[in-house]
Amino acid sequence: MYICITNPSESDCQKDCKLIKSVIMKNKYYDLIDQTFDFPQDEFRTEDGELYFHDIPLMEIIKQYGTPLKITYLPKISSQIQRAKRLFNVAIAKTDYKGTYNYCYCTKSSHFAFVLEEALKNDINLETSSAFDINLIQELHAQGLIDKEKVIVCNGFKKEQYIENIVGIYKEGFRNVIPVLDNKHEYNMLDEMLEDNMEPMSLGIRIAAEEEPKFDFYTSRLGIRYHDIVSFYEEQIKQNKKFHFKMLHFFINTGIRDTAYYWNELAKCVNVYCDLKRVCPELDSLNIGGGFPSKVSLAANYDYEYMAEEILAQIKAICANRGVEEPHIFTEFGSFTVGESGATLYSILDQKQQNDRELWYMIDSSFITTLPDTWGINQRFIMLPINHWDCEYQRVFLGGLTCDSEDYYNADSHANAIFLPKLQQDEPLYIGFFHTGAYQESIGGYGGIQHCLIPAPKHVIIDKDEDGEYTTKLFAKEQSYKSMLKILGY
């Protein structure tokens, strides 16, 4: 309907009021965003109906490289690391906290050489999660990107190869490597591999946290049970001169959230810290793992300042109550560090109206392979069109190209629907998923890399001959660290 500005009651006005109509109707995609969120935001703005990400004109990038396309905006990695340091250092000052803040980059969130190079510009420690990660550390050293003083926190359930690699770099001179025990067997392996006359190796233990009540099981499979930790230390580690017990670690699967569950788990862990500190004076560090979220919605309102301050205030209060010195704090933020540096861009190939209410836009790739978290854990990201912001919008479902019916995306984190501009004749519609820089490549197996760098297994082909005898043939050996590191750009 046309509404005339000079004669608003006249719905049948003959004048050309197109412009006026567009102002009043507010039916463009831009209007939808403008009315729903505070927009523009730090990293997003539009110009002439097109989206800019950190002031980069994305249409230019698309014209140059085409879609589907992954992009990494490197400066965001450094700025997030600096932000984490600032948040905790300000919280230390505000709470008059006596320990220090130590940022570790959790390599599993993105192992790429260009990511590590950028992260290492910021005077950071590193966290590893499997055997090949240690090869990665050696490669970083060979390239002159780290020295042997670097603090390397080694997490994860450790196969013999991982323990061997940890002991290997320790013997090479990485004196600040800290294996965090996931189980007691790892301790025995380390003990066997270390010689008596060596300088003691720093050691940590991961506490097996209780899972959120609605989870499928009660206690995390990762780490050692709360009740076993002090006795394990007293019975085995205390008298062993090969070790210097330094760190207690925990990681809450749901991430760091302002929930009763999180604060309760934190308090339990700090209490274990205090119990242990009483019998182990050399213990001085509490590693609270990862879990700071990245921004997955234009409506995100996570209060990072409050959370950092509250974490320190709670640790401080419990320690004061128990008469224990406050620990140094370590974090291992993965998603927070690299998530917001990444985006994945697609074009819409066509639309399909499958019934009166369901209109599909088909992307030129697959969600299952390029954004596996959307499929595996129903993760939501910020999804925006790159062009046509000045066109009318409609509700759509996004479909991937695989034959898998689960290959779709149909909801934002703030709404159970998605909206995109209507398709136009003159130019295809391009869309972007933003803040996709953590985990998606390794989980999706990009180029042959794997989650936590756990190698692809050997593959054996089995057949049977006419006599019913079976034969085997090795199709592929287990993936090597060299092939993985090559894909990652080392």
Binding site residues, ligand PLP, CB under 6 A: 106, 109, 155, 251, 255, 289-292, 332-336, 438
CB atoms within 10 A of CB 51: 23
- Minimum CB separation from ligand PLP for residue 332, in Å? 4
| Nearest residue (beta carbon) to ligand PLP | 290
In the bound state with ligand PLP, the residue whose beta carbon lies nearer, of 50 and 182, is 182
In the bound state with ligand PLP, the residue whose beta carbon lies nearer, of 46 and 440, is 440
- Minimum CB separation from ligand PLP for residue 253, in Å? 8
In the bound state with ligand PLP, the residue whose beta carbon lies nearer, of 290 and 372, is 290
- Minimum CB separation from ligand PLP for residue 129, in Å? 7
- Minimum CB separation from ligand PLP for residue 222, in Å? 7
Report the C-alpha gap between 288 and 271 in whole angstroms.
Answer: 13
- Minimum CB separation from ligand PLP for residue 290, in Å? 2
In the bound state with ligand PLP, the residue whose beta carbon lies nearer, of 67 and 165, is 165
Q: What tokens were used for 486?
A: 């090559």
- Minimum CB separation from ligand PLP for residue 30, in Å? 33
In the bound state with ligand PLP, the residue whose beta carbon lies nearer, of 333 and 375, is 333
In the bound state with ligand PLP, the residue whose beta carbon lies nearer, of 132 and 292, is 292
Dihedral Cα 61, 64, 66, 72, nearest 10 deg:
-40
CB atoms within 10 A of CB 94: 13
Report the C-alpha gap between 110 and 70 in whole angstroms.
Answer: 13
Report the C-alpha gap between 269 and 266 in whole angstroms.
Answer: 5
In the bound state with ligand PLP, the residue whose beta carbon lies nearer, of 333 and 361, is 333
In the bound state with ligand PLP, the residue whose beta carbon lies nearer, of 99 and 223, is 223
- Contact (Cβ atoms closer than 8 angstroms) between residue 419 and residue 278: no
Q: What tokens were used for 202?
A: 């720093």
- Minimum CB separation from ligand PLP for residue 133, in Å? 12
- Minimum CB separation from ligand PLP for residue 206, in Å? 7
- Contact (Cβ atoms closer than 8 angstroms) between residue 207 and residue 226: yes
Cα–Cα distances (Å) from 192 to 1, 160, 199, 276, in that order, read 81, 11, 15, 24
In the bound state with ligand PLP, the residue whose beta carbon lies nearer, of 398 and 443, is 443
In the bound state with ligand PLP, the residue whose beta carbon lies nearer, of 57 and 255, is 255
In the bound state with ligand PLP, the residue whose beta carbon lies nearer, of 247 and 431, is 247
Q: Closest Cα partner for 401 from 374, 363, 443?
A: 363
